[in-house]
Amino acid sequence: MSTKALILGCAGQQLSEPELRFFRQNQPWGFILFARNIDSREQVLRLTDQMRECAGRQDVPILIDQEGGRVQRLRPPNWYFYPPGRVLGQLFERDNKAGQRAAWLHSRLIAHDLGEIGVNVDCLPILDVPIAGAHDAIGDRAYSHDPEIVGKIGEAVVEGLLAGGVLSIIKHIPGHGRSFCDSHHDLPRVDTALGELLETDFKPFSQLNNVGMAMTAHIIFEAIDKHNPATTSAALIEDIIRGKLGFDGLLMSDDVSMNALSGDYRTRTQSIFGAGVDIVLHCNGEMEQMSEVALVTPRLAGKALDRANAALRPLKTADKAEIESLREEMEGLLSPFC
């Protein structure tokens, strides 16, 4: 059976019978994990095994947000606590080479943790470039206020994850750094001129436009589309993301259940696909909402299917590494900032 253009979450630490039936019937392209789904390594591995079994695909994408700092679903005492992205940027500002090495180590070690539990995609790197006074939704998750530094660290993060057998999703394209509210709750608007956006917020995404997957921002950029956030704006997706930024990889929405989007779940989903997004993401595991989204989600086909297949091609077995020695090296490099 062909897959639907869906990435879905689940409610708990194992798939219920209704979830198993729903996933088998709808065949989502991928799944995503959150803190509510996580207890121990053994439990999460059983859950990801269930996901692979009901999808019937060993390489089914299983996503997680494991960034470091505030946003990491795997936490102590069962997992290592990684410093936030801003720490990597601080080191880079002092020593470019050391900063890139630390970023590679940071993501290579995260990839090791994910590999142990059957997760093969990390929603990382964050390529957002925050400005002074912006909402803390991004904050210290961002590597720097300098788009050049953000791009350089982003490249190292992608390489580190890939070395550990994990794929990257760049986010939040074309940029979330100028938001003065949290798109989980409200719809941000940005009135900055297009020329300035291309030189700042959009620049890291252009630099990493060869990465296979990207996640959209639920933000209105008034210079491009005064009425629709990037996720549902055909003008922004075609003219900016696909056009000026040159990104031709798999484009997925940020969570369709976030309050920045309006309308019921069928309307939101139809608007996302109508704008040219390849895959819709629904995170909270609520069955009623997932059912509404799935009803209007197409099977992956055409260019979207080509992009989905191409996005998974770099997936490989992790390289051999002495994990504890890499961890000691990272801690040594970052110790002045932690």
Contact 150, 129 (CB under 8 A): yes
Query: Shortest CA distance to 140 belongs to which of 83, 223, 55?
Result: 83
Helix, strand, or coil (residue 251): strand
DSSP, collapsed to helix, strand or coil, labels residue 81 as coil
Of 95, 184, 191, 264, the catalytic one is 184
Contact at 8 Å (CB) between 62 and 30? yes
Tokens of 29: 């392209």
172 is catalytic: no
Alpha-helix runs per DSSP H in the chain: 17-26, 41-55, 85-94, 96-115, 147-163, 194-199, 203-207, 234-235, 265-275, 287-295, 302-312, 323-334
Q: Which of 254, 255, 278, 282 is catalytic?
A: 254
Question: Is there a contact between 263 and 269 (Cβ–Cβ < 8 Å)?
Answer: no
SS3 176: coil
Q: Length of the chain in residues, anyone?
A: 338
Matching residue, tokens 């001129």: 193
User: Cis peptide before 218, with omega less than 30 degrees from 0?
Assistant: no
3-class DSSP assignment, residue 47: helix
Active site annotation includes 239: no
Active site (catalytic) residues: 184, 254
